[in-house]
Amino acid sequence: MLPLTRGSDEHVIRRPVHHRRGALRPALAARVQRAVLGIACWLLLAAVVPRAQAEDGYDLWLRYRPLDAAQAQTGRSHVAQLVAPAATPTQRAARDELRRGLRGLLGADPGTADAVDRAGALVVGTPASSAAIARLGLDLDGLGDEGFVIRSVEVDGRAATVIAANSDIGTLYGAFRFLRMLQTRQPLAALDLRDAPALDLRLLDHWDNLDRHVERGYAGQSIWDWHKLPDWRDPRYTDYARANASLGINGTVLNNVNASAQSLTPMYLEKAAALAGVFRPYGIRVYLSARFSAPREIGGLDTADPLDPRVRRWWRDKADEIYRLIPDFGGFLVKANSEGQPGPQDYGRTHADGANMLADAVAPHGGVVMWRAFVYSHEEPEDRAKQAYSEFVPLDGQFRENVMVQVKNGAIDFQPREPFHPLFGAMPDTPLMMEFQITKEYLGFATHLVYLGTLFEEVLEADTYQQGKGSTVAKVIDGSLHGHGLTGMAGVANIGSDRNWSGSIFDQANWYAFGRLAWDPHASARAIAGDWARMTFSNDDGFVGPVVDMMMGSRQAAVDYMTPLGLHHLMGEGHHYGPAPWVEGGPRADWTSVYYHRATPEGIGFDRSSGGSDAVAQYADPVARVFDDPKQVPEDLLLWFHHVPWDWRMRSGRTLWDELVHRYSRGVAYVRGMRETWSGLAPYVDAERHAEVAAFLAIQEQEAQWWRDASIAYFRTFSQRPLPEGEAPPPESLEHYRSLSFPFAPGN
Amino acid sequence: MLPLTRGSDEHVIRRPVHHRRGALRPALAARVQRAVLGIACWLLLAAVVPRAQAEDGYDLWLRYRPLDAAQAQTGRSHVAQLVAPAATPTQRAARDELRRGLRGLLGADPGTADAVDRAGALVVGTPASSAAIARLGLDLDGLGDEGFVIRSVEVDGRAATVIAANSDIGTLYGAFRFLRMLQTRQPLAALDLRDAPALDLRLLDHWDNLDRHVERGYAGQSIWDWHKLPDWRDPRYTDYARANASLGINGTVLNNVNASAQSLTPMYLEKAAALAGVFRPYGIRVYLSARFSAPREIGGLDTADPLDPRVRRWWRDKADEIYRLIPDFGGFLVKANSEGQPGPQDYGRTHADGANMLADAVAPHGGVVMWRAFVYSHEEPEDRAKQAYSEFVPLDGQFRENVMVQVKNGAIDFQPREPFHPLFGAMPDTPLMMEFQITKEYLGFATHLVYLGTLFEEVLEADTYQQGKGSTVAKVIDGSLHGHGLTGMAGVANIGSDRNWSGSIFDQANWYAFGRLAWDPHASARAIAGDWARMTFSNDDGFVGPVVDMMMGSRQAAVDYMTPLGLHHLMGEGHHYGPAPWVEGGPRADWTSVYYHRATPEGIGFDRSSGGSDAVAQYADPVARVFDDPKQVPEDLLLWFHHVPWDWRMRSGRTLWDELVHRYSRGVAYVRGMRETWSGLAPYVDAERHAEVAAFLAIQEQEAQWWRDASIAYFRTFSQRPLPEGEAPPPESLEHYRSLSFPFAPGN
């Protein structure tokens, strides 16, 4: 919060607000005591700085708060001067970010110089932009356009650190990496770091409508103020670009996959071009979701048949028009023939026909098409989990080179836990792109603390066995398994107009983790959480350890209190808020809850085994064999693949029913534990952010309890069994839980 | 913007950002030169203050930036210590605000004391809360609960300043007034100020839906985060209360007049109660818009007939329930039988029947009912401007004592200019409440700089002549004309989730002006603009003069470029964005443009004279006589009341057609002038706010030009006359302007 909200007793002079609860306070106090400070100095402080800046989360992980004295001194010795070119917008972005970060972290601007003239210079550039770097003859081969090296060297006999790359954008990424090292207190001596992204496309998908409503958004409105664009370019757009560039995210799909054709009209293309202009220096390309029926809706044609020459021409012309406005336009994302969206099947054509038509339109300009595999149509009667595989595997090899098929991590829809999608590894001749959901549509919206790094990691590390052991999803995605040159990962953004960007401070960690894993899908979720916690809050070990532990278990907790043991799709109808395992009827069976849990007096679970829908057959052996056997399948996926009697004996020794209740309660207890942990961390966190997180954790505990109670109240009508010893019965009747109504829940 | 957005070259040490362009800079620089500042001091500055605070408008007019040295010294001599009680929440709010403000303005916290022990104390309280004030024996009669005195006195032989009142809330208002005096650099010696609000109810009406969409809102979403309430109480709610209390606003209607019955369910009443709890210390009561059909929708009844005993009981029970949760609940606002809303006429009952039924429900708790007179039904075929008068005047005297009829300033709908509503003064036995619209539904949304103080003032100063000369609207509203004890003014809020609250910096001035005029409807719009400009930007005369001049003419400019000479209701359909004088057809004539302008090859204007719809007869003489005569009517209202030939000779000597074109162009030219003025004011304003205002003015100029060009292109098809010498023809065809479509314009 800015000054308007500060408490009355936060006197800036007597109590430096930045660290009034922080670990730096003693050090600061010591410095204060050491310094000979006359009244003039106090007056100046008071005059220049009427109030210290409170923290409201706007700064994300780029806070650049002061290091403690010793670290700052070490830092200053390694950055005694900054030698960085500023001839291009990207060069200026890198230099400005370094100055901003160093000034904040080290407490002093190192000053810039054209050449190294003292020890401890930080030298930034490419062989083309920096004579010093050219002379060093660094090995920059294999780094591509986006990689960089950070190395301790000597320049003209003086110790220096270089951030070098083949292109300006590589130096920008290197600059952010160097700042991260300072922020997380890495040693700065004898550096020899070499890094490049593992994936080509590292994108955010915004499900943002042109009226600023965000589908499944829980952080306010769309940050794109379409109405005022292109004339008003909110400074926030630049901060969005900075935050993304700090992670290596290099593209953004501006509009919802449930797209409006209006996005492709000249008026909106101009607006998109204005955003592209803001993002360009940060290496971020703009993409658009394309509505397949646009030729009919805004093109004056009577068809959108992808094989119709008029349609093909319309899209070619549209692509040409877009590239005139946005020369580095990235391409199209398409949701077709899914959940009522138009597509090539409306004309008896295949997904490949549709994708290739668009691919041909953008190919001359270097654009790509990301064609989503998330399809299910009303006509298909089989297990919804099988449909994407059934429709897409036969098309393998039929897509143009600039088409990627974008596959959600699981086959249903971003559930708290799903087995990895069977398409991964099953289309060797087609580059597959990962689609994760960063926004927590099914994981408690903005108030639940659920770190998704572990979810992402679990999927990426899953072994498909499609080319034998070690055929992990990450290797499918990074192209190494099947030798693809075009690779990518998309995350459905959790970004909105809320001051803290993501609806809560801890939801920022999910944006952060996505970006880090898109750069390196083999990275560790725990290490990423540690970096984020250090950059976002505090480097104090007394803080980092407990917070990272808490984050690492938080997703399992949400699985436990929402949908344990492989249950899925049991949330409120439409808005997806809260528990509703009783949902039935309606337009289609696979939009109900009962379709998925199939509880009866005998048992519970969706039989996808070889004796059931046989969805297991879509996996390679031995995965299929393991999933097919209720005794071998991971218990976390038991009810995903099997219909199991209530007295089924679990590995814990409990019956299935008892284990189910145990898991629900365990999830609630974990949240209670997070509240206790967080309460104890108050000394490390500014009051504003601490209070918000604490309030949200309280809401999470209430809602976790509600999920447990409502679920147990419902399922015990089937199990007909008593609760295990010591388990509290739901305090309300099932009728009560069923009666709750939330017509205005957000994100719908 | 917070640090994430600051330019890279704004080094806090070398350039104090607060005033790097400001008038204070030389003074600061001098102070810097005077002070003996060692390196230790610089280091401390750098460590404590990693960056100075940029301005993003969040602080509104409560910025409390440092006074210059001499003024601060004078200030400190008058506030050497603060003697203020802190036993109640409101007392703490007053004391905390003073400390916050004094610390910012004077550069030092005066410190608090229990009793006066030095010269220059600021003593705050009531005779009950402060022994010192009790001993002074101040004359506090007639100040009521909300008035205050600010006076230079002696306390125990020492010079002091007192802020005294009969109640805590009076002292809070006095505290804000004292701070305003400092902010606007009023002398602090020999003070003898006595003030109390002229109106009882000073309310904001939020047209906020429960899904956070704001009808006619251009500042983001609703600031009420309904989904997270009551558990999460955003600190912003407190700042909202502070800002309103600083103006004397003492009530807020939380939800849209197009109300959802859900607002009255227990779940939402708990949320409203949470907000009421935040606002209570600031003297702000919560009100709700009531949906008349709620007994059917959430009450299980089959009727909402106000004379049905079950309905009456349901509302009594509902009121009891509300007051249990919110003991100081203010009452209901109702839009009934208007634009499709349900109401008593659905059951053959009158507005009085409906209002009185609700009034009886809240009367035992001291609540009021505000019944809107903005009615027009599909069945009424006559001039829409006449309907409210026709329906309500016959009901005069039939309303309960705790009912106010809330009347918009004009009879159509918040048009850029309307004659005052004929109801004012025409219902002597009924207290009438003013409804202004602060949000700029018809005045350019958030991007147009249009100061509404002059619009409000024009209406309040209008003379109804209902009790002879001097029967101004202000005297109707303040109860003095007809001796009413219950008085009030409501403003449709322009507040949303945008960081700057109102969508633009200058729109904050309209919130400010409304609040000041609700406190004192006889206040001067120019003086208010001056205070606002000083508090929001700079006290420098080089700034204040030009900005106030620019503001004072801005509303006339909007009238000129949108709807000059009494034209009205010519905006885009539905969203009301941009010009659309061609709108015709549709469900009802009075939702079109052609209904209002009635242009033909012979002339233009709505004949409301005695020879036409005779709406003029709703006014008292001599107003009616003046309005009825096209030669006497103010030319600004000519086409409101008269259909006039194109060659009608105006007082300027021009023909009507030439004058019309002249006015359009004059409006555009004024905006161009504002851009130039603002450009020259850059030295006085921080870069962030200056850039935003400049960008919005550029949009305003574009849109003003568009209004002019489209309107001329359309009306010349009727006038069939050439443009006056020197007037540029519209650059595009009428077909072009008609083809423009804005399906996602905000606020609809």
Helix (H, G, I), strand (E, B) or coil at B290: coil
Contact A390, A373 (CB under 8 A): no
Backbone dihedral angles phi then psi of residue A180, each to the nearest 5 degrees: -60, -40
Q: Between chains, do A107 and B50 touch, taking CB under 8 Å as contact?
A: yes
Strands A368-372 and A403-408: what pairing? parallel
Higher pLDDT, B22 or A300: A300
Helix (H, G, I), strand (E, B) or coil at B133: helix
Alpha-carbon distances, residue A155 vs A91, A121, A123, A159, B70 (angstroms): 21, 9, 9, 6, 53
Dihedral angle of Cα A129, A133, A134, A137, to the nearest 10 degrees: -150
* Contact residues for B304 (Cβ-Cβ < 8 A; gap 6+): B292, B293, B294, B295, B296, B311, B342, B346, B347
Residue of A nearest to B53 (CA): A53
The structure tokens 């230790």 sit at B40
| A87–B contact, CB cutoff 8 A | no
Measured between beta carbons, the chain B residues lying within 8 angstroms of A692 are: 232
Q: How many CB atoms lie within 10 A of CB A277?
A: 16
In this predicted model, what pLDDT tens digit does every residue of A133-151 receive, in sequence order? 999 999 999 999 999 999 9
Q: Between chains, do B232 and A447 touch, taking CB under 8 Å as contact?
A: yes
Q: How many CB atoms lie within 10 A of CB A137?
A: 8
Let me know if B688 is a catalytic residue.
no
Measured between beta carbons, the chain B residues lying within 8 angstroms of A179 are: none
Which among A745, A671, A744, A748 is positioned nearest to A705, based on CA atoms? A671
Tell me the two tokens of residue B236: 């912003």
Q: Which residues of A717-747 are buried (b: 16+ CB within 10 A; e: fewer)?
A: ebbeeebeeeeeebeeebeebbeeeeebbbb
Tell me the two tokens of residue B76: 């400190």
Alpha-carbon distances, residue A394 vs A339, A390, A430, B596 (angstroms): 21, 7, 11, 63
In this predicted model, what pLDDT tens digit does every residue of B164-182 receive, in sequence order? 999 999 999 999 999 999 9
Q: How many CB atoms lie within 10 A of CB B128?
A: 12
| A307–B contact, CB cutoff 8 A | no
Residue of A nearest to B220 (CA): A221
Tell me the two tokens of residue B172: 């809070």
Residue of A nearest to B45 (CA): A45
Q: With bands split at pLDDT 50, 70 and 90, how would you rate the model's confidence at B376? A: confident
What whole-number distance in Å separates Cα of residue B358 and Cα of residue B650? 51
So what's the pLDDT on residue B5? 32
Which among B474, B386, B490 is positioned nearest to B424, based on CA atoms? B474
Task: Please report the beta strands in B188-329, taking only residues with DSSP state E, as ranges in sequence order.
Answer: 192-195, 201-205, 251-253, 285-289
Measured between beta carbons, the chain A residues lying within 8 angstroms of B64 are: 3, 50
Q: With bands split at pLDDT 50, 70 and 90, how would you rate the model's confidence at A5? A: very low
Domains of chain B: 26-44+559-606+643-739 (3.90.1330.10), 69-195 (3.30.379.10), 201-536 (3.20.20.80)
| B185–A contact, CB cutoff 8 A | no
Distance from CA of A446 to the nearest CA of B (A): 9
| B37–A contact, CB cutoff 8 A | yes
Residue of B nearest to A13 (CA): B108
Q: What is the mean pLDDT of chain B?
A: 92
| A385–B contact, CB cutoff 8 A | no
Strands B158-164 and B148-155: what pairing? antiparallel
Distance from CA of A367 to the nearest CA of B (A): 28
* Contact residues for A29 (Cβ-Cβ < 8 A; gap 6+): none
So what's the pLDDT on residue A54? 72
Q: With bands split at pLDDT 50, 70 and 90, how would you rate the model's confidence at B377? A: low
Tell me the two tokens of residue A97: 């970010």
Q: Between chains, do B37 and A34 touch, taking CB under 8 Å as contact?
A: no
Residue of A nearest to B745 (CA): A227
| A112–B contact, CB cutoff 8 A | no
Helices B541-562, B687-719: inter-axial angle, 10-degree rounding: 30
So what's the pLDDT on residue A3? 34
Q: Is the peptide bond before A230 cis (omega within 30 degrees of 0)?
A: yes
Predicted confidence (pLDDT) at residue A300 exceeds the cutoff of 70: yes
Predicted confidence (pLDDT) at residue B502 exceeds the cutoff of 50: yes
Alpha-carbon distances, residue A507 vs A46, A240, A539, B672 (angstroms): 35, 15, 19, 45
- CA angle, corner A509, sides to A503 and A515, nearest 5? 115
Distance from CA of A353 to the nearest CA of B (A): 31
Task: Please report the beta strands in A473-582, taking only residues with DSSP state E, as ranges in sequence order.
Answer: 488-492
Question: HEC states along B375-393?
Answer: CCCCCCCCCHHHHHHHHHH
Contact B8, A100 (CB under 8 A): yes
Q: Which residues of A160-169 are buried (b: 16+ CB within 10 A; e: fewer)?
A: bbbbbbbbbb
What proportions of chain B, in percent to the nearest 5, are helix, strand and coil? 45, 10, 45
Strands B148-155 and A331-334: what pairing? unpaired
A contact test, residue of B63, B100, B706, B736 with most A CBs within 10 A:
B100
Question: Using CB atoms within 10 A of its CB, is residue B635 exposed (0-12), middle (13-18) or buried (19+)?
Answer: middle
Which uninterrupted H or E stretch holds B372? strand B368-372
* Residue range A172-179: mean pLDDT, rounded: 98
Q: Between chains, do A695 and B232 touch, taking CB under 8 Å as contact?
A: yes
β-bridge partners, B517: none
Q: In chain A, positions 44-83, which contact chain B (CB-CB < 8 Å)?
A: 44-53, 56, 58-60, 62, 64-66
Strands A121-125 and A158-164: what pairing? parallel
What whole-number distance in Å separates Cα of residue B294 and Cα of residue A165? 67
In this predicted model, what pLDDT tens digit does every residue of B715-726 receive, in sequence order? 999 999 999 999
B contact test, residue of A25, A65, A100, A297 with most B CBs within 10 A:
A100
Strands A285-289 and A331-334: what pairing? parallel
DSSP per position, A717-739: HHH--PPPTTPPPPSS-HHHHHH
What whole-number distance in Å separates Cα of residue B224 and Cα of residue B278? 12
Q: Between chains, do A4 and B242 touch, taking CB under 8 Å as contact?
A: yes
The structure tokens 């958004």 sit at A217
Q: Between chains, do A232 and B447 touch, taking CB under 8 Å as contact?
A: yes
The single-letter DSSP state of residue B724 is: P
* Contact residues for B85 (Cβ-Cβ < 8 A; gap 6+): B91, B95, B124, B125, B129, B130
Catalytic residue among B208, B441, B531, B607: B441
The single-letter DSSP state of residue A450 is: -
Q: ipTM of this model?
A: 0.92
Distance from CA of B51 to the nearest CA of A (A): 7
* Contact residues for A523 (Cβ-Cβ < 8 A; gap 6+): A516, A517
Q: With bands split at pLDDT 50, 70 and 90, how would you rate the model's confidence at A41? A: very low
Which among B375, B354, B358, B369 is positioned nearest to B318, based on CA atoms? B358
| B739–A contact, CB cutoff 8 A | no
Helix (H, G, I), strand (E, B) or coil at B489: strand
Q: In chain A, positions 446-505, which contact chain B (CB-CB < 8 Å)?
A: 446-447, 497-499
Predicted confidence (pLDDT) at residue A21 exceeds the cutoff of 90: no
So what's the pLDDT on residue A638? 98
Distance from CA of A664 to the nearest CA of B (A): 23
Helix (H, G, I), strand (E, B) or coil at B418: coil
* Residue range A193-199: mean pLDDT, rounded: 98
Measured between beta carbons, the chain B residues lying within 8 angstroms of A34 are: 40
In this predicted model, what pLDDT tens digit does every residue of A206-241 receive, in sequence order? 999 999 999 999 999 999 999 999 999 999 999 999
What whole-number distance in Å separates Cα of residue A215 and Cα of residue A373? 19
* Residue range A315-330: mean pLDDT, rounded: 98
What whole-number distance in Å separates Cα of residue A18 and Cα of residue A702? 32
Q: With bands split at pLDDT 50, 70 and 90, how would you rate the model's confidence at B380? A: low
Q: What is the mean pLDDT of chain A?
A: 92
In this predicted model, what pLDDT tens digit does every residue of B287-321 receive, in sequence order? 999 999 999 999 999 999 999 999 999 999 999 99
Provide the number of CB pairs (under 8 Å) joining chain A to chain B. Answer: 232
The structure tokens 């099988």 sit at A386
The single-letter DSSP state of residue B430 is: S
Distance from CA of B375 to the nearest CA of A (A): 28
Helix (H, G, I), strand (E, B) or coil at B631: coil
| B115–A contact, CB cutoff 8 A | no
In this predicted model, what pLDDT tens digit does every residue of A376-432 receive, in sequence order? 766 656 799 999 999 999 999 999 999 999 999 999 999 999 999 999 999 999 999
| A29–B contact, CB cutoff 8 A | no
Q: Among A47, A59, A228, whose Cβ lies nearest the Cβ of B28? A: A47
pTM tops 0.80: yes
Contact A615, A422 (CB under 8 A): yes
In this predicted model, what pLDDT tens digit does every residue of B314-329 receive, in sequence order? 999 999 999 999 999 9
Measured between beta carbons, the chain A residues lying within 8 angstroms of B97 are: 8
Q: Among B37, B49, B226, whose Cβ lies nearest the Cβ of A41? A: B37
In this predicted model, what pLDDT tens digit does every residue of B254-271 receive, in sequence order? 999 999 999 999 999 999
Catalytic residue among B200, B413, B435, B478: B413
Q: In chain B, positions 391-450, which contact chain A (CB-CB < 8 Å)?
A: 445-447
Let me know if B692 is a catalytic residue.
no
Tell me the two tokens of residue A394: 């036969």
So what's the pLDDT on residue A382? 77
The single-letter DSSP state of residue B24 is: T
Q: Between chains, do A59 and B4 touch, taking CB under 8 Å as contact?
A: yes
What whole-number distance in Å separates Cα of residue A283 and Cα of residue A147? 12
Which uninterrupted H or E stretch holds A134? helix A131-136
A contact test, residue of B14, B20, B43, B48 with most A CBs within 10 A:
B48
What whole-number distance in Å separates Cα of residue A500 and Cα of residue A447? 13
Distance from CA of A215 to the nearest CA of B (A): 13
* Residue range B654-671: mean pLDDT, rounded: 98
| B236–A contact, CB cutoff 8 A | yes
Measured between beta carbons, the chain A residues lying within 8 angstroms of B447 are: 228, 232
Strands B81-83 and B121-125: what pairing? parallel
The single-letter DSSP state of residue B745 is: -
* Residue range B140-146: mean pLDDT, rounded: 96
Predicted confidence (pLDDT) at residue A13 exceeds the cutoff of 70: no
Distance from CA of A395 to the nearest CA of B (A): 38
Catalytic residue among B270, B328, B339, B396: B339
Measured between beta carbons, the chain B residues lying within 8 angstroms of A236 are: 1, 5
A contact test, residue of B67, B267, B536, B744 with most A CBs within 10 A:
B744
So what's the pLDDT on residue A528? 98
Tell me the two tokens of residue A155: 């320049």
* Residue range A85-110: mean pLDDT, rounded: 96
Predicted confidence (pLDDT) at residue B103 exceeds the cutoff of 70: yes
